Amino acid sequence: MEHKKINGQYYYYYSLWEWRNGKCRRVWQKYLGKLQDLAKAAQGGPDPAYAEVFEFGPPIALWLESQRQGIAETIDRLCPKRIQGLTIGEYITLAAVNRAIRPVSKRGIWEWFAGTSLRRCLPTVQEGMFSSQRFWDHMDSVSTKQAGDAWAEIIGGIVSHEGVDLSRVSYEGTNFYTFINTLR
């Protein structure tokens, strides 16, 4: 929490600071009010006019794990694009996080994203960046070879990093459902 003095009055803010390009920068800020407003709220003052509720745990856990594994960086290295907006790796990672938690269509991904704490991780993201057209523009630039190379490198990296013993993993594909039209 920090405060600012304006015309002799202190105003309090909740802020998130990060190092960017070797400098400490504020990346997110929320106005809390004056000291007397905070004291009144702590004493059980009037109910707030509204509240912002964010989905916190699963989106942040999956996002941080994807960063730890270097998923977006791997995709961006193998599928480069101009430096503007979200990278291809960020689009794919956010889509994967969404699919793991509460899948929505490409048209609904902004509404989902805006209701999660991922906005703190990606404070520069704006609604227009999540249009279905922007998503498909990025996905259309990824070739089949690039997608295969990225998949292989990501899986290989995770298996190596996490020490997965593949001698104990098997795939049995004979128990699957099929539809056979016997009425012909």
According to DSSP, the β-strands at 23-34 and 2-6 are unpaired
Model confidence band, residue 156 (pLDDT cutoffs 50, 70, 90):
very high
**What is the maximum alpha-carbon separation in the chain?**
87
Amino acid in the structure at residue 85? G
Is residue 19 within a helix (H) or strand (E), and if so which, with residue range? strand 9-20
The domains of the chain are located at: 2-42, 57-162
- For residue 96 the two structure tokens come to 């994967």
Distance, CA of 103 to CA of 113 (rounded, Å):
11
Query: Across the strands, what pairs with 18?
Result: 25
Q: What is the pLDDT of residues 11-47, one digit of tens each?
A: 888 888 888 888 888 888 888 888 888 777 778 766 7
Model confidence band, residue 151 (pLDDT cutoffs 50, 70, 90):
very high
C-alpha 164: how far from its chain's center? 26
Cα angle 82, 84, 89 (rounded to 5 degrees) comes to 75
Which carries the bigger pLDDT value, residue 1 or residue 119? 119
Q: What is the pLDDT of residues 78-90, one digit of tens each?
A: 998 887 788 999 9
Q: What is the pLDDT of residues 56-74, one digit of tens each?
A: 889 999 999 999 999 999 9
With a cut of 60, say whether residue 184 has pLDDT above it. Answer: no
